[in-house]
Amino acid sequence: MLLNGTDQVASMGPDLGLLVGKMNSTSLATSEYASIVSMNLFVALLCACIVIGHLLEESRWMNESITALFIGLCTGVVILLSSGGKNSHLFVFSEDLFFIYLLPPIIFNAGFQVKKKQFFRNFMTIVLFGAVGTAISFTIISYGAINIFKRMNVGSLELGDFLAIGAIFSATDSVCTLQVLNQDETPLLYSLVFGEGVVNDATSVVIFNAVQNFDLTRITTSDAFHLIGNFFYLFITSTVLGAGAGLLSAYVIKKLYFGRHSTDREVAIMILMAYLSYMLAELFFLSGILTVFFCGIVMSHYTWHNVTEKSRVTTKHAFATLSFISELFIFLYVGMDALDIEKWNFVQDSPGKSIGVSSILLGLVLVGRGCFVFPLSFLSNLTKKNENEKITFRQQVLIWWAGLMRGAVSMALAYNQFTRLGHTQLRGNAIMITSTITVVLFSTVVFGLITKPLVRLLLPPSKNLSRMASSEPTSPKSYVVPLLNDRDPEAEPGQERPVLHPSSLRVLLATPSHTVHYYWRKFDNAFMRPVFGGRGFVPYIPGTPTEQSVHNLIPEERN
């Protein structure tokens, strides 16, 4: 009904009433009014998602993103019916909206709230999965697509299209991962799968550049080294840029001490610097996701401790809220867009082919991921002496399963490759778009629904607790945590307990990551914190006695 109103509205009045001018621009005003109608409906749907998501909180299957996806699908049906089968969405899908506005707050918040110790302890495994794993998956999916789709006569697809399919479907969707894995319940799984999702963004950029500049059918050894070099260059520059932006914000806030005058200024500078780091990465053709993720990590380690207590509470929850709204927005949008009739029209005459393509893609995703999770986990386990630190087979299955979801990132990339400004006229392209939508919906809904129960089945809570050092895993979030102390105590352990000095070579060899951590702590306390602030190194601590008592303690290496 509302969406049909555009024509009616034109006769109601040429303008929003807010502006004095615009008396002679009726057509402009009409399209503006239509966009206001859309925005109203969209914001109202977001509110509905929050309320319904809250009511379904206790459900063991649902999560907020699937709720939003279903509400989006239902709304899409209503819009489709009321518009007489013309349209099913409120906005035309825009990659800009997605990559420039919705994705950065989600990834930044993930970096800001991540359990740093858990993340860096598994750092090598994460990079292995994100770099080598994604490359393996890309190769398998591309190779499979070339061989199978060419025989199926899907349409006029070129080599570039097949490689794009490989790149689109080889990347884990970090936004989906955030939805189904809980950092408190399964910290190891979360840090591995989500970390992989962040790192593989850099891999995607490298693959994309390789597809453009190399002849992938005849790759030489020097080309391969070139690619590996590219990956490390990109990975390191992106990380350094993110960390640099975070450190700059910490330094500026520590030096100028904004809080003296205004909390708002501190919060504003944190938001703007984080966003600037993402945009700078885009400017220099780096991986924005990796940059903003590390910016979030550095900000939570240094900057966050330099601001007033009010700013701390505000940033913690404001970033989480922004991320939450962006996630809902994405899933609601994907649900609504899935029914867009224009693309389905091409497929109408051959529904079997579309279903076939979707099933093959899903199969390739399953196989491609399986081909790297298990071998790489085995490799990773070889480097670990301690039995407790190895990735068990059950955990490997979960890592494989939890990373199968393909979400809005895949959608955005598929739109980018196979449409021009959201429209397509080629049959092959239309089939690829509808298949991507099918894969995204199926994997998000089915794999997403099954993940939670699967985690519970394979890693029962009691075992979970003892193995993974999670703190109070099943209680609802807000009651567990006091006002400020819910920044997990492990991420930045009390620095002042007596330390096991790793003097013996055996200890050094047995626990290399702990040794790195030990020297990092030393360096951090001696050089970084005095310059950039951080816990216990702020000039003025506004009334949090717990923070001051931390001063005289010694860094603790393990928990």
Site for its own copies in 5-34 (CB under 8 A): 12-13, 15-23, 25, 32
State which residue, 121 or 312, has the beta carbon closest to its own copies.
Answer: 312
Smallest distance from its own copies to CB 15, Å: 8
* Interface with its own copies, residue 413, by CB under 8 A: yes
b vs e for 79-99, b when ≥16 Cβ sit within 10 Å of the residue's Cβ?
Answer: bbeeeeeebbbbeebeeebbb
Comparing CB distances to its own copies, the nearer of 103 and 402 is: 103
Site for its own copies in 461-490 (CB under 8 A): 476-479, 483
Of 130 and 493, CB closest to its own copies: 130
In this structure, what token pair is assigned to residue 291? 């940059």
Residues in Cβ contact with 334 at an 8 Å cutoff, skipping those fewer than 6 apart: 69, 72, 407, 408, 411, 440, 441, 444
CA dist 318 and 167 (Å) reads 33
79 counts as binding its own copies under rule CB under 8 A: no
Between CA 215 and CA 96 the distance in angstroms is 30
How many helices and strands, by DSSP H and E, does the chain display? 28, 0
Element (H, E) at 426: none
Which range, of 47-55, 114-122, 182-190, 498-506, touches its own copies by CB under 8 A?
A: 47-55
Which of 26, 40, 220, 466 is in the footprint of its own copies by CB under 8 A? 40
The answer to whether residue 286 forms part of the interface with its own copies (CB under 8 A) is yes
Length of the chain: 559
Shortest gap between Cβ of 204 and its own copies (angstroms)? 6
Distances (CA, A) of 300 to 119, 348, 481: 14, 51, 18
Three-state SS at 423: strand
Nearest to 110 by CA among 370, 375, 289, 267: 289
Q: Which of residues 237-266 bind its own copies (CB under 8 A)?
A: 252, 256, 258-265
Q: Applying CB under 8 A, which of residues 82, 209, 230, 544 lies at the interface with its own copies?
A: 209
Q: Where in 355-394 is the site for its own copies (CB under 8 A)?
A: none
Residue 232 within binding range of its own copies, rule CB under 8 A: no
Interface pick for its own copies out of 111, 197, 246, 288 (rule CB under 8 A): 288
Verify binding: residue 285, its own copies, rule CB under 8 A. Answer: yes
Enumerate residues 148-177 that contact its own copies by CB under 8 A: 160, 164, 167-168
User: How many angstroms separate the CA atoms of 102 and 46, rounded?
Assistant: 14
List beta partners, residue 423.
420
Q: Out of 97, 146, 148, 211, which residue is the one contacting its own copies (CB under 8 A)?
A: 211
Shortest reach from residue 466's CB to its own copies, in Å: 26
Return the number of the residue (258 or 302) whose C-beta is nearest its own copies.
258
Stretch that binds its own copies, among 183-191, 271-279, 337-345, 359-367 (CB under 8 A): 271-279
**SS3 state at 256:** helix
User: Which C-beta is closer to its own copies: that of 290 or that of 373?
Assistant: 290
| Triad 254, 495, 307: Cα angle to 5° | 20
| Location of structure tokens 């429209």 | 423
- Enter the tokens of residue 306: 């330099």
Select the span of 198-206, 293-301, 498-506, 518-526 touching its own copies (CB under 8 A).
198-206
